[in-house]
Amino acid sequence: AQMALERDYEGQRESVTRMRALMQTMQEAALFVNVTTGRIVEANPAAGRLLQTNPDELPGTALKRLLRHGSEPVDVDQLVEAARDGRAAPATLSSNNCATPLRLRPMSFRAAGQRVLLCLLTRHEQPDETPPGSDAHM
């Protein structure tokens, strides 16, 4: 049992390292949001570039302060519903008066007893590879 636990622990440590490499290198902006608090818990450098913020300063920030949906701040609960329906959502940067159009693909899951929302953000004019209806759910 002890060896199984250690193998499990090692395997998890591997995931932590792979996750860090992936978040650092991927081009898509990725934000993990605690649904209960509505605040970002993890963000990658691509998200920092898109949101024009130091990515290390994003954790703790409320998502609704950064993004708008139409004329209103984004609503995290609505994004969780959109994730369940497999819908992407248009969004714009709150900070940008020119309203840079973004596309937000949401995915909702539970981790460590908490509901988490993953937001993948791209600029709206970028071509989208994902065929319609193929957004994955956990």
The residue ranges that bind a second copy (CB under 8 A) are: 9-28, 30, 32, 42, 45-46, 49, 105, 107, 109-112, 116, 118, 120, 122-123, 126-131, 134-136, 138
Least separation in angstroms between residue 63's CB and a second copy is 16
Least separation in angstroms between residue 64's CB and a second copy is 21
Least separation in angstroms between residue 47's CB and a second copy is 11
**Environment class of 88 (CB within 10 Å of its CB; exposed 0-12, middle 13-18, buried 19+):** middle
Identify which of residues 33 and 66 has a Cβ nearer to a second copy in the complex. 33
| Residue 119 neighbours by CB under 8 Å, 6+ apart | 29, 30, 31, 32, 33, 63, 79, 104, 105, 106
Place of tokens 């509901």: 115
